């Protein structure tokens, strides 16, 4: 392996606002050798997530140590084991990793997990990856929807939102989504079975949302903040739960934007719960949650749409465009095909 070259993107400045490309630099170096207990992997696919920008920002979220200037840009990956100095792994194994934006990675075996369950390889970085875990935990454990309740999800055509809505439908809820184009809204209703969808770019969102939620909102899964969160707060029923998952529309600013009005008054008066969660804290139950997701996929209740960008060199642009809402379903970058028989 020593003769092979590794391409890796290193952070050259913190990624707090604006385009991603100027914040990273592609370096070419020889592939590193694995030490005792280490595993050398080839990166097959890279997950492109809003959180990537947060990790690389000057003010990373408190659960994360942050990516420092000079570090490899951090991202969740799906890898194939090439050389293993760890008893739990053998060449050809497909593993979940945090290899980041590069072709090859060396990691201690403890940092890797073998994928569980079959199906398409890419599903292990979309529906059986962090998007699926995030949707499942955020919706079912934080939001706790009951059959017959109205669930609203924003960025509903995105990787997490599209799963949230479908899981809520499978649990017997009425589901409304918001998305940034009429095409996405049609897809939500016609293909995914949502009960309604609102294009937030077509006009003020609150009157539309009110029409679509005649019985008010019981669970709002928030991926965007801003106007959608404001509308959801105002249309919430007593005891509604608001799952604060991400803040795509608010990341790209050096100052936090204006929050929704009426906080804490609306929370106190309507007895609301607004709650964030850290998906990494739930990894111990990953196999159990994956089994629940596999069941939904295999029974046809969960349609998975992937938005695959080809080539490591396109990772920076793929991340930047995520914040403009370019993606349709789970966005990932395909870096290499596995050498084994898995496809």
Residues near a copy of itself (CB under 8 A) are 54, 61-63, 222, 225, 229, 237-238, 242, 244-247, 250-251, 256-278, 281
Closer CB to a copy of itself, 269 or 324, in the complex: 269
Closer CB to a copy of itself, 229 or 318, in the complex: 229
Residue 158 burial by Cβ neighbours in a 10 Å radius (0-12, 13-18, 19+): buried
Q: Is 302 left (phi over 0), alpha (psi -120 to 50) or beta?
A: beta
Closer CB to a copy of itself, 271 or 288, in the complex: 271
Q: How far is the CB of 247 from a copy of itself (least distance, A)?
A: 4
Q: How far is the CB of 211 from a copy of itself (least distance, A)?
A: 20
Contact 44, 103 (CB under 8 A): no
Q: How far is the CB of 8 from a copy of itself (least distance, A)?
A: 27
- Name the CA dihedral angle for 98, 101, 107, 110, rounded to a multiple of 10 degrees: 10
* Three-class DSSP labels, 9-58: EEECCCCCCCCCHHHEEEEEEECCCCCCCEEEEEEEEEECCCHHHHHCCC
Closer CB to a copy of itself, 52 or 102, in the complex: 52
Q: How far apart are CA 220 and CA 205, in angstroms?
A: 14
Closer CB to a copy of itself, 208 or 222, in the complex: 222
Q: How far is the CB of 232 from a copy of itself (least distance, A)?
A: 10
Contact 83, 109 (CB under 8 A): no
Q: How far is the CB of 190 from a copy of itself (least distance, A)?
A: 30
Q: How far is the CB of 74 from a copy of itself (least distance, A)?
A: 16
Closer CB to a copy of itself, 61 or 340, in the complex: 61
Q: How far apart are CA 228 and CA 321, in angstroms?
A: 21
Joined tokens for residue 110? 């403890």
Q: How far apart are CA 24 and CA 13, in angstroms?
A: 7
């Amino acid at each position: 392996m020593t003769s092979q070259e590794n391409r890796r993107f290193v952070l050259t400045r913190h990624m707090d606002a604006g385009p991603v490309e100027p914040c990273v630099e592609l370096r070419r170096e020889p592939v590193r050798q694995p030490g005792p207990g280490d595993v050398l992997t080839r990166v097959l696919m890279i997950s492109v997530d809003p959180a990537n920008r947060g990790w690389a920002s000057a003010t990373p979220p408190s659960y994360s140590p942050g990516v420092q200037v000079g570090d490899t840009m951090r991202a969740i990956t799906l890898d194939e084991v090439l050389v293993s100095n760890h008893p739990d792994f053998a060449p050809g194994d497909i593993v979940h990793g945090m290899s980041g934006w590069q072709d090859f990675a060396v990691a201690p075996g403890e940092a890797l997990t073998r994928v569980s369950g079959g199906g398409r390889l890419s599903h292990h970085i979309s529906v059986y990856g962090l998007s699926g875990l995030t949707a499942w935990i955020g919706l079912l454990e934080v939001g706790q929807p009951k059959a017959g309740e109205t669930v609203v999800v924003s960025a509903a055509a995105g990787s997490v939102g599209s799963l949230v809505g479908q899981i809520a439908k499978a649990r017997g809820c009425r589901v409304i989504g918001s998305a940034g184009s009429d095409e996405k809204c049609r897809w939500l209703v016609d293909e995914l079975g949502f009960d309604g969808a609102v294009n937030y770019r077509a006009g003020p969102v609150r009157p539309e949302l009110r029409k679509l939620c005649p019985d008010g909102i019981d669970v709002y899964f928030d991926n965007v903040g801003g106007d959608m969160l404001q509308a959801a707060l105002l249309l919430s029923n007593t005891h509604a739960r608001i799952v604060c998952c991400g803040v795509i529309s608010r990341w790209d600013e050096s100052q936090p934007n204006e929050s929704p009005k009426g906080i804490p008054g609306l929370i106190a008066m309507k007895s609301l719960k607004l709650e964030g969660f850290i998906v990494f804290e739930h990894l111990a139950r990953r196999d159990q949650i994956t089994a629940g997701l596999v069941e939904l996929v295999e029974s046809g209740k969960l349609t998975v749409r992937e938005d695959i960008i080809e080539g490591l060199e396109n990772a920076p642009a793929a991340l930047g465009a995520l914040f403009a809402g370019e993606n349709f379903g789970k966005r990932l970058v395909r870096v290499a095909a596995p050498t084994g028989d898995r496809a």
